[in-house]
Amino acid sequence: MVDVQFRFRDDEAVNDSAVTVDAFTEQTNATAVRIEPGDDARALLPFLDRLRLIEVNFPAWTDGRGYSSARVLREAGFTGEIRAVGDVVIDMLSHLKRCGFDAFAPDKPLNPADAQAAFERWDNVYQATADGRQPIWALRHQS
């Protein structure tokens, strides 16, 4: 298994091994699942309360379906760990985090200084997403 390089959670690390979405829907006691780009994240919605970890795989960083998967899960109220695995590169990090990822396990470990700069790059953001940050339009209209 690939190591988690960055994690933004205070709870205990989850080491349960993740099963595929197909296996998961049949195997009712698994607590971790891995979503591939072609899987429908919504298939997991009825089971969120017993999941601790959802891995979202990026076989190639240019395939952006995983961003939508993570947001769908967060929008449905999932509070467990969402971990980006696979071809995770520096310039994706802040966007992944904005979409609800809170753990990162890149195939190739990233330069920690570059990664930190990437996570901290944007002081403000234009959109409301799953990360709960106040978008610029909300800051503009605060009374």
Partner 1 sequence: MYKYDSYDQQMVDTRVAEFRDQVRRRLSGELTEEQFRPLRLQNGLYLQLHAYMLRVAVPYGTLNSAQMTVLGDIADKYDRGYGHFTTRQNIQYNWIKLEDTPDILADLAKVEMHAIQTSGNCIRNISSDQYAGAAADEVVDPRPYAELLRQWSSFHPEFLTLPRKFKIAVIASETDRAAMRLHDIGIKMVRNPAGEIGAQFYAGGGMGRTPMIGPMIREFVPLDQLITYSEACLRVYNRYGRRDNKYKARIKILVHELGKDEYTRQVEEEFAHLLGQGIEPPLAELERIKQYFVDPAFEAGASDELDLSDPDFRLWVERNTHAHKQAGYVIANVSLKPVGGIPGDASADQIRLMAQLAKDYSFDELRVTHAQNIVFPHVKKADLYTLWKALDEAGLGIANLDTLGDIIACPGLDYCSLANARSIPVAQKISERFGSAEKQAEIGELKLKISGCINACGHHHAGHIGILGVDKKGVENYQLLLGGCEGADTSLGKITGPGFDENGIVDAVEKATEVYLSNKQDGERFLDTYRRIGMDPFKEAIYG
CB-wise, 14 or 118, nearer to partner 1? 118
Does the protein bind partner 1 through residue 91 (CB under 8 A)?
yes
* Helix residue ranges, H only, 8-111: 21-26, 65-75, 93-98
Q: How many CA atoms lie within 13 A of 73 on its CB side?
A: 34
Which run of H or of E encompasses 82?
strand 81-86
Instruction: Please choose, out of 3-11, 12-20, 28-36, 122-130, the segment that lies near partner 1 by the rule CB under 8 A.
Output: 122-130
Backbone angles phi, psi at 56, to 5 degrees: -120, 120
Q: Given the structure tokens 């979202």, which residue do they identify?
A: 56
Does the protein bind partner 1 through residue 89 (CB under 8 A)?
yes
Closest CA to 34 of 22, 49, 45: 22
* Nearest-approach distance from CB 99 to partner 1, in angstroms: 5
Does the protein bind partner 1 through residue 83 (CB under 8 A)?
no
Give residues 49-68 in contact with partner 1 (rule: CB under 8 A). 61-65, 67-68
Task: Tell which one of 4, 82, 88, 96 touches partner 1 (CB under 8 A).
Answer: 96
Backbone angles phi, psi at 69, to 5 degrees: -55, -45
Give residues 26-45 in contact with partner 1 (rule: CB under 8 A). 37, 40
Residue numbers at the binding site for partner 1 (CB under 8 A): 37, 40, 61-65, 67-68, 71, 75, 89, 91, 94-96, 98-99, 117, 121-129, 135-141
